[in-house]
Structure formats: C-alpha cells, structure tokens
C-alpha cells in the first residue's frame, strides 16, 4: 500500500490505499450517524483551512471533520488576510508553518498550488481542489457513496457529463474509478472536452443517448463559467437541451442508475430539479454526508503523526 504524507491527488495512491481510506470513512459514517464523536484522536493538533476559492461543502466538512476528531480548527479568511496586501502564497504558507500547524487544507485556483506548498511546510497538506487539476476528497466521497449504494466499486459504468474540460472533480474521479476497475464515459460537447482525455477505461461521447446507455451512475458536473475563456457553449438553454440531465435523458441509463452531482448545482443548466430532487434516484445529499466521513478518514490518516 502506498504511504503518503500529504493528499495532493488521487494520482499517487494505489487501490489498497484508496480501499483503506474508504473502509476508515465507512466507520466514520456509522460514528456520525450514532451522534457520537471521537473528540480526542487529534487533540492538540491544529488544522488550518486555507481557501483561496469559494466553498460551501468542502470547507465546512473539513471544519466539522476536524472538530469531530478533536483538532483545533482555524478557517483563514483569505479576503481579510494579508494576501490582499500582496503577500505571496509561499510567504502565507511559511507564516502558518511558523505557527506549527499540523494539517493545512488548501483550495487554490492554480493547479499545483497545494503540491508547491507541500514542499515548503512541515504540515501535512491536503488538496481541497486546485484549478482544473484534482479534487481528491471529492472523488473519495463519490466512491464511498457509490460503494455503499451499489455494494461494490468495481465493474460499474459511470457516465460523467457536462463540463469535463474545467473539472478537477472529473479528473480525480476518472483516476480513482479506472484505478478500481470501473468503466468511465465522459459525455459533453467537443468544446468542453480536454485534450488527451482518452485513456484506458475512458470513452468519450458527445451524445447523451449514447453516453448514458446502460450506465450505472450518471454524474452531472457544474458548468464552470468562471474558468471559461470565451464562448464555449452557444447558451445555457442550448447546453441544457443537449447535455442537461433531465428525466428523458436519465431514461437512457439503467433503470436503477444513480444520479450524482458534486455541487454546487446550477439547476436548469446541467441538471433538472426533477431528477436532482428525486429521492429514489438522486444521492446528491448523501454525497455531502459522505464528505464529512471521508474527510475525517483523511485527517485521521494524516493528522495522527507528527512530522
Ligand atoms: N463539491 C465542492 O467542492 O463543493 P464546494 O465548492 O461547495 O466546496
């Protein structure tokens, strides 16, 4: 099993390491549902959430996860920090490092920013999403959600739909799902398909009927307008008509196919409320619950050791 000091991506993990994290997260699902906490596991450890991009789910769940394990958790507000006075990423990290923090959870709009910090600080660095590169804890929580619902996380056909080009969620999911022996289809317009996406276990589709045919899982992705340069789609209305996940398009997948979305959702753009809120098909809320458990597992794994 791969030993890892930081969690910078799914790349670098191996199947035993992923399975061990999912198994540990499973125990935290049960603990969280019991209403109990594990308050002393990370007592005396400090976790700093350093988010240079907005977040609801990831930041809150890392905060909850840290507190449930007994860590001291600090949410650094970048907009009111000395970053606004011109302090660099590395100087900011060096400052936090001098305060002896143990876990640094980083979200940044530049791909590779967490990896750069990991070379400069003593803390364990966790990538909470970097540019279009990776969002490893999202892929882990997606895998846990699928494994709990389908009873396995191998041999499944997973259709990932929409804005693949700008999605770190897609990239981490492709790495994790193919590593565990699933078949991934990426479905979207050619303008939102990154170069070099083809890989063993990954098929590219531009037609939802073909891409979703017989799928076990349909994952819709947010249209990331903030990362687009120029008009990559004619209009959101047209995008929805061709690629928005609605009841009719979901009908191409297996009758028991699950609907997933990492959030935040743009209803009526990449997903219709009718399927997003369908309690029989949608596991979007469950993904959020799994996010806390997965982040507890990651903090448990990386936070116990003092480097
Ligand atoms: N899925 C996800 O990363 O959501 P947030 O941007 O709210 O953290």
Distance 43 CA to ligand 1 centre (A): 27
Per-residue pLDDT in tens (0 to 9) along the chain, 307 residues: 878 899 999 999 999 999 999 999 999 999 999 988 777 999 999 999 999 999 999 999 999 999 999 999 999 888 888 888 999 988 988 898 899 999 999 999 999 999 999 999 999 999 999 999 999 999 999 999 999 999 999 999 999 999 999 999 999 999 999 999 999 999 999 999 999 898 999 999 999 999 999 999 999 999 987 777 767 777 899 999 999 999 999 999 999 999 999 999 999 999 999 999 999 999 999 999 999 999 999 999 999 855 4
Predicted confidence at residue 305, as pLDDT, reads: 57
Atom of ligand 1 nearest to the CA of 58: 8
Q: Per residue, what are the HEC states of 61-104?
A: HHHHHHHHCCCEEEEEEHHHCHHHHCCCHHHHHHHHHHCCCCEE
Among 49, 50, 51, 57, say which to mutate for ligand 1: greatest number of ligand atoms within 8 Å of CB: 57
Q: Which of 224, 216, 221 is nearest to 245 (CA)?
A: 221
Maximal CA-CA distance, the chain: 55
40's CB contacts (< 8 A; 6+ apart) are 70
What's residue 154's pLDDT? 98
- In this structure, what token pair is assigned to residue 134? 């990776």
User: What is the per-residue pLDDT for 307?
Assistant: 45
CA 263 to ligand 1 center in whole angstroms: 6
Among candidates 306, 305, 299, 304, which has minimal Cα distance to 28? 299
pLDDT at residue number 258: 98
Atom number of ligand 1 nearest to Cα 54: 6
Helix axes 15-34, 136-150, angle to 10 degrees: 70
**Ligand 1 geometric centre to CA of 220 (Å):** 14
* Alpha helix segments (H runs only) across the chain: 15-34, 57-68, 89-98, 113-118, 136-150, 168-179, 208-212, 236-243, 247-250, 273-276, 284-303
Indicate which residue's Cα is closest to atom 6 of ligand 1. Answer: 55
Distance from Cα 18 to the centre of ligand 1, integer Å: 21
Atom of ligand 1 nearest to the CA of 56: 7
Say whether 219 sits in a helix, a strand or coil.
strand
Write out residues with Cβ below 6 Å of ligand 1: 55-58, 129, 138, 262-264
Residue 128 alpha carbon to ligand 1 centre in Å: 9
Ligand 1 mean position, distance from CA 254 (Å): 27
Atom of ligand 1 nearest to the CA of 135: 3
Residue 42's alpha-carbon distances to 46, 48, 71, in angstroms, are 8, 13, 5
126, 132, 263: which to mutate for ligand 1, most atoms within 8 A of CB?
A: 263
Per-residue model confidence (pLDDT) at position 36 = 86
Q: How far is the CA of 61 from the centre of ligand 1 (A)?
A: 10
């Amino acid at each position: 099993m791969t030993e890892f000091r930081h969690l910078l991506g799914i790349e670098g993990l191996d199947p035993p390491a992923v399975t061990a994290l999912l198994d540990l997260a499973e125990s935290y699902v049960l603990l969280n549902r019991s209403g109990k906490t594990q308050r002393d596991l990370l007592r005396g450890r400090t976790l700093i959430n350093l988010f240079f991009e907005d977040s609801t789910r990831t930041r809150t769940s890392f905060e909850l996860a840290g507190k449930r394990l007994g860590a001291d958790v600090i949410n650094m507000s970048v907009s009111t920090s000395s970053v606004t006075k011109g302090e660099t990423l590395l100087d900011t990290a060096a400052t936090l490092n001098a305060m002896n923090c143990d876990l640094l959870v980083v979200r940044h709009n530049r791909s590779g920013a967490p990896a750069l910090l990991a070379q400069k600080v003593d803390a364990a660095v966790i990538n909470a999403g970097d540019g279009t590169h990776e969002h490893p804890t999202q892929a882990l929580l997606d895998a846990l959600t699928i494994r709990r619902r389908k009873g396995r996380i191998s041999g499944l056909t997973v259709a990932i739909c929409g804005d693949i080009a700008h999605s770190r969620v897609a990239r981490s999911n492709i790495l994790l799902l193919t590593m565990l022996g699933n078949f991934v289809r990426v479905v979207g317009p050619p303008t939102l398909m990154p170069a070099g996406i083809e890989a063993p276990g990954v098929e590219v589709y531009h037609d939802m009927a073909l891409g979703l045919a017989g799928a076990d899982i349909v994952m819709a992705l947010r249209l990331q307008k903030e990362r687009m340069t120029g008009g990559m789609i004619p209009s959101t209305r047209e995008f929805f008509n061709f690629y928005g996940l609605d009841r009719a398009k979901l009908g191409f997948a297996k009758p028991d196919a699950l609907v997933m979305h990492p959030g935040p959702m743009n209803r009526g753009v990449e997903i219709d409320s009718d399927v997003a809120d369908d309690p029989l098909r949608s596991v979007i809320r469950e993904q959020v619950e799994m996010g806390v458990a997965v982040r507890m597992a990651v903090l448990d794994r990386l936070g116990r050791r003092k480097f």
